[in-house]
Structure 1
Amino acid sequence: MKRVNILCIDTTSEFCSVSLFENQTLIENNNSKIERSHSKLLINLVDDILINNNLKINELAAFSISKGPGSYTGLRIGLSSIKGFCYALGKPLISINTLKVLAKYALEHINDKDSILCPMIDARRMEVYTKCYDYNLNEITSDKAIILEKDSFDKLKDKSVYFFGDGAQKFSGIINRQNFIFLDNINPDSKFMGELSYDKFVNNQFEDLSSFEPNYIKDFYLIKKKGKWERS
């Protein structure tokens, strides 16, 4: 089997995460949790991984990005950096849904093969970005932004459902069902992108650099709060 090095990045949250894979094997994972500094951190994390593994950037076979949903600013920073690498080096771009990355992470804590996985990403107030998968990461629902209510997942009341991600805590505060299970500390992390990225690489599932955009789910807009403009 030909060895390929794929660099995976995730800048969709307060964590800035970069991982190097050889095929599906994780070689190194670098994370930083310093808010609002992705633009400074990302290039440094990439440089550190390449230096630590005695690799030149042009020896990478592809770049993979966690495409959202998530932080608007983080998504823009990550994509602009990776597109720059791909254009300059003539390398392909792979994208992975951030909700699927969270689900891949959660599988490390789930043994019930009949369960449903529902990652949730905070979208402010009582709104979350979410999607449901089965144990094999097949899609059950499409990406969507929803306002959480007690009956939001009534259709799944007869299943064991795992909720996780930084939006899940809001739902746990308004619902109490025995079959609804909440997992803590499941955050976007590029170290769970390797297998998903390699599968796309071997199947030539690459993005068009000229037209690819992050998965925002919905357009962002500005609101005025306490005299300041904030993204929502």
Structure 2
Amino acid sequence: MNRERVIELLSKVKNGEISVDEAAEHLRDLPFKDLDYAKIDHHRGIRVGYPEVIYSQGKDLEHLKGIVAHMLERDANILATRADERVYNAILEVTDNVVYHRLARICIVNPKEVEKVGKVAVVTGGTADVPVAEEAAVVCEAFGNNVERVYDVGVAGIHRLFNNLDRIRDANVVVAVAGMEGALASVVAGLVNVPVIAVPTSVGYGANFNGLSALLTMLNSCAAGIGVVNIDNGFGAGYLASQINKGFMGRGNR
């Protein structure tokens, strides 16, 4: 349950549309519902502005279906991240009202129209980084942000980046996704006047150490204005980018 739904519920009580007891029944499972194998955090949307998201990888499929079924009882718009085909098919056993973003590995269950504001630019070094970038982009869009995708503009052909600078500079925040040595974030941060969220990916040859080299490059960047998330953490980058973009919009920016 998010803040808007609580306000709507309280307004109905105030206007005599529902009784206090009926309202109390709606609020009964706040702040969380205990399913034994999961504690569903209904209060998260009120506390932080975004509802709980299901991390699918590693979950038992029966547990996953139970979580989705319970969240649907509250008419929730559900994001399930790190969702492979098995997860998608399991959710289909609960509801067919689901959109599967294969590259991003995200299922959006009970999708709802969301007004999109501002702009987040999601930029990748190479095409192999696109799945992580798509995770960030889809999360941003689901949370109500416009997204500009600028893919395959890494430093090996830096003229491609320069050719797309106007599109990148038009955003309120940039998500820079790169593997190999991870130099893209530093270059971008030196060219824009907005925050850059650096996302190292596990793309690269042996000495990349599954993304460690890119992570260390981004952490040690000499460019200011960079924040770094964990390796392959497109979700974390998209979540943070949404908060920054909406913060800009709240101050009357683009």
* Same-fold status (TM-score > 0.5): no
**Structure having the higher Rg:** 2
Between Structure 1 and Structure 2, the one with more strand by share is 1
Higher helix share: 2
TM-score after normalising by structure 1: 0.37
Which TM-score applies when normalising by structure 2? 0.35
Higher relative contact order (Cα pairs below 8 Å, separated by 6+ residues) = 1
